[in-house]
Amino acid sequence: MSIKPAIIGNWKMNGTGRDVKLVSRFADFLNAQKIAADVMICPPPTLINRAAIASKGTKLKIGAQDCHIEMSGAFTGDVSAAMVKDAGGKAVIVGHSERRARYGETDKQVRQKAETAISQGLLAIICLGETRQQFNKGQTLQVVGRQLRGSLPSAATPQNTLIAYEPVWAIGSGRTPKPADIIKTHAHLRQTLIKLNSKAGAQYKILYGGSVSAVNAAEILALENVNGALVGGASLSFKDFTAILKSV
């Protein structure tokens, strides 16, 4: 079954108003090129609305990097899924390893955030990944399988949910797993999805993330069950991100 890939740029805590010009450049590039992928940029919350305006009417979509479980309330500093939607966002990244590790987010909380995003008509991008210690102990499949089962909401479908495998030890390190390891992990995630839903499991997009670059993107994207990439630092560079898009 052919699955249209997705390339998603996660800007993390980077970007100010001047970087909206970069969003416009990406949008112009997509309109001028035939890229066989869905493309999205997830800027910080302060830029979601301006990025959405800059990319309106183009092939480029805008998403958010996180959302709160609740729609509103006394949660100073947080952003709700309803706010993301109101600002023009089309998706929300949930369960990124930086959120899981630094803010102690559990699989249950990630699932609740995904449920909230889906309830607002947003695409939920659920992240999974093992630490270096877990990788060294051969626990990768056990860890990501548990995270997937615990983080995937009952309302998830291939249309409203993407899965992103990001080895924690690879993010921002310049290191990536061996192709055989990526294939093995993505195959396990695919089989887990099929076990959870025999009809829809084969249709989910499973993205790879973790030091994806213009140099390694083509090789990674060609691997079995790799249906796109979640790109970090390279998505802040017009040259690097467009090179990744061309490699699809």
Hey, what CATH topology would domain 6-246 get? TIM Barrel (3.20.20)
pLDDT at 173 over 90: no
Residue numbering of the annotated binding site for substrate: 10-12, 172, 211, 232-233
pLDDT at 1 over 90: no
pLDDT single digits (tens) 175-190: 889 999 999 999 999 9
Active-site residues, by number, are: 96, 166
pLDDT single digits (tens) 9-33: 999 999 999 999 999 999 999 999 9
**Among 217, 151, 205, 141, CA closest to 179:** 217
Alpha helix locations (H) across 120-178? 132-136, 140-151
pLDDT single digits (tens) 87-123: 999 999 999 999 998 999 999 999 999 999 999 999 9
Residue numbering of the annotated binding site: 10-12, 172, 211, 232-233
Provide the β-strand partners of residue 208. 165, 229
> How high is the pLDDT of residue 170?
84
Name the least confident of 159-163, 196-200, 231-235: 196-200
Tokens of 180: 């055989």
